[in-house]
């Protein structure tokens, strides 16, 4: 069995879904389990509907709801068998009637709490997985739908739920594995439920995570992540085009890249795959003939020092200094307790004799965090920054890497430096305005002669 995950851009229209059906059909003999995201930008649109309702703009919310309903009905009706059309109509009506009820409750309460965010945003995958199942039948694939909420069991931390792995794996083995032996199983990504049956979500990008969890639960031979790019590249094409395709990369390197901005893969995706030693392939649904990137457990030998350059704009640096508390027992703990209390992850940390600097990419609670920190230290905040992360297994055993990095960046001011404990990455912070120049200079320095065994031209 294999798992095939398709993202929203691969399902944005009837034509896109037809293309996906063609890809799945060529792999039908491998007994695929298909995990799908919401169609197009549906999740963003659902959240906008909920927010409009909570802001007192219920007519606007209902107008957006009607447009989203029409979008799903129009695209789906073109790829569903005549005998399934009445069922399709009833299914769409049922889901959007449920959404209308949720909009009314949100408007009445004048708030959009986390539990309701999950209930609203989950509708995207619930709809797409049923539509894709019907479409597969239209294109001659014997498909069956499984509601992910019945098998992916999580805790109750809404919008960022954590899977209860032992229960989830047991349900996947009991439910999905027997079905996949006979039919193509279609499931929605991103969504799950608590033991009490309350809908939860795994966080944005969670469909990749779902695919990995499903793969581990059914002992799949391979997990395929189908996106709209050819695979993982040596640089972010949105920053510096012309990067090389990485043919093979290790789980450890891929995880570093995913965390530090490589949008091709959700950072949590690789963990269940690592535990079960299941290869992950990143492939392009618009160019299914492309070989993609293969992610494996073993270290991948490479003549180049690094595998890729990831970057993360939209970074805020928080500088904390307290001569009174400096080096005092518990000072760092008190700092990080503040960020933990406001559920704000920290990306990078750098310390000196007189200060602690750290970075965050979510400034939602920055004002509250600063108010708390001001009680124990002097705080300075710098926005408009970016993290650049150089990743490669060879970094830890190659002398002079730092010298090459700083020589390439000789005309760019580096504001903060950190090297991960794994020594697989070397990260630094710069002004976001220098991001393109920095990545361009580093790519020229480290990929003048890419190893043909690891990189495609």
What's the pLDDT tens digit per position in 411-439? 999 999 987 666 788 999 999 999 999 99
Closest among 194, 285, 259, 205 to 389, alpha carbons compared? 259
Beta strands across the sheet bearing 248-250:
143-146, 184-188, 32-36, 2-6, 222-227, 280-284, 293-296, 248-250
What CATH number is associated with residue 441?
Answer: 3.30.2130.10
From 178, 207, 228, the end of a domain falls on: 228
In a domain, 288, yes or no: no
In a domain, 188, yes or no: yes
For residue 270, what pLDDT is reported? Answer: 77
One domain, residues 221 and 313: no
**Residue owning tokens 């990369």:** 249
For residue 12, the enclosing domain spans: 2-228
One domain, residues 211 and 332: no
In a domain, 263, yes or no: no
Q: How many structural domains is the chain composed of?
A: 2
One domain, residues 317 and 177: no
One domain, residues 49 and 170: yes
In a domain, 359, yes or no: yes
Pairing label, strands 248-250, 293-296 = parallel
One domain, residues 34 and 171: yes
One domain, residues 129 and 28: yes
Gyration radius (Cα) of the chain, Å: 23
For residue 174, what pLDDT is reported? Answer: 97
One domain, residues 209 and 333: no
For residue 421, what pLDDT is reported? Answer: 63
Question: Global pTM?
Answer: 0.87
Residues of the chain short of pLDDT 70, as ranges, are: 261-263, 267, 323-329, 353, 420-422
Pairing label, strands 245-246, 199-201 = unpaired
One domain, residues 201 and 110: yes
In a domain, 251, yes or no: no
Q: What is the dihedral of CA 84, 85, 87, 88, to 10 degrees?
A: 110
In a domain, 265, yes or no: no
Q: Are 74 and 40 in contact (CB under 8 A)?
A: no
Three-class DSSP labels, the chain: CEEEEECHHHCCCHHHHHHHHHHHHHCHHHCEEEEECCCCCHHHHHHHHHHHHHCCCHHHHHHHHHHHHHHHHHHHHCCCCHHHHHHHHHHHHHHHHHHHHHHHHHHHHCCCCHHHHHHHHCHHHHHHHHHHHHHHHHCCCCEEEECHHHCCEECCCCCCCCECHHHHHHHHHHHHHHHHCCCEEEEECCEEECCCCCEEECCCCHHHHHHHHHHHHCCCCEEEEEECCCCCECECCCCCCCCCEECEEEHHHHHHHHHCCCCCCCCCCHHHHHHHCCCEEEEECCCCCCCCEEEECCCCCCCCCCCEEEEEEEEEEEEEECCCCCCCCCHHHHHHHHHHHCCCCCCCEEECCCCEEEEECCCCCHHHHHHHHCCCCEEEEEEEEEEEEEECHHHHHCCCHHHHHHHHCCCCCEEEEEECCCCCEEEEEEEHHHHHHHHHHHHHHHCCCCCCCCEEC
What CATH number is associated with residue 52?
Answer: 3.40.1160.10
From 194, 228, 262, the end of a domain falls on: 228
From 162, 194, 228, the end of a domain falls on: 228
In a domain, 244, yes or no: no
Pairing label, strands 2-6, 222-227 = parallel
CA distance 417 to 421: 13
In a domain, 192, yes or no: yes
For the stretch 313-366, pLDDT in tens is 999 999 998 766 555 667 888 899 999 999 899 989 988 767 899 999 999 999
Could you give the C-alpha distances from 231 to 228, 246, 248, 265, 303, in angstroms and in order?
9, 7, 10, 9, 20
């Amino acid at each position: 069995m294999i798992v095939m995950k398709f993202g929203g851009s691969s399902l944005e229209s009837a034509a896109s879904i037809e293309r996906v059906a063609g890809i799945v059909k060529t792999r039908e003999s491998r007994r695929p389990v298909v995990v799908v995201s919401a169609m197009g930008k549906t999740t963003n649109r659902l959240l906008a509907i909920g927010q409009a309702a909570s802001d007192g703009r219920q007519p606007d919310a209902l107008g957006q709801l009607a447009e989203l309903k029409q979008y799903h009905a129009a695209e789906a009706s073109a790829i569903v068998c005549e005998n399934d059309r009445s069922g399709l109509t009833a299914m769409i009506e049922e889901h959007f009637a449920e959404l209308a009820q949720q909009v009314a409750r949100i408007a009445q309460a004048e708030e959009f709490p986390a539990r309701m965010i999950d209930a609203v945003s989950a509708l995207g995958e619930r709809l797409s997985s049923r539509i894709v199942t019907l479409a597969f039948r239209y294109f001659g694939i014997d498909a069956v739908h499984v509601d992910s909420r019945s098998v992916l069991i999580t805790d109750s931390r809404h919008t960022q739920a954590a899977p209860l792995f032992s229960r989830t794996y047991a349900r996947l083995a009991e439910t999905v594995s027997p079905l996949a032996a006979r039919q193509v199983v279609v499931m929605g990504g991103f969504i799950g439920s608590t033991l009490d049956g309350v809908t939860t979500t795994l966080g944005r990008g969670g469909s990749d995570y779902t695919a990995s969890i499903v793969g581990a639960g059914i002992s799949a031979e391979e997990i395929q992540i189908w996106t709209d790019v050819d695979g993982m590249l040596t640089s972010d094409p949105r920053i510096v085009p012309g990067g090389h395709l990485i043919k093979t990369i290790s789980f450890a390197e891929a995880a570093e890249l995913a965390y530090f901005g490589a949008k091709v893969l959700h950072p949590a995706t690789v963990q269940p795959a690592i535990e079960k030693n299941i290869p992950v392939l990143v492939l392009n649904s618009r160019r299914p003939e492309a070989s993609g990137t293969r992610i494996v457990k073993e270290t991948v030998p490479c003549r180049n020092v690094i595998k890729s350059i990831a970057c993360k704009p939209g970074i805020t640096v928080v500088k904390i200094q307290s001569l009174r508390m400096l080096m005092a027992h518990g000072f760092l703990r008190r700092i990080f307790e503040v960020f933990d209390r406001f559920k704000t992850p920290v990306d990078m940390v750098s310390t000196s004799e007189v200060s602690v600097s750290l970075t965050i990419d979510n400034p939602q609670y920055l004002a509250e965090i600063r108010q708390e920190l001001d009680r124990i230290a002097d705080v300075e905040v710098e926005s408009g920054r970016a993290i650049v992360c150089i990743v490669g297994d060879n970094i830890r055993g190659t002398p002079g890497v730092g010298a090459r990095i700083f020589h390439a960046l000789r005309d760019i001011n580096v504001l903060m430096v950190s090297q991960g404990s794994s020594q697989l990455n070397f990260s630094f912070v710069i002004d976001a305005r220098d991001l393109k120049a920095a990545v361009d200079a580093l790519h020229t320095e480290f990929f003048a002669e890419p190893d043909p065994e690891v990189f495609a031209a």
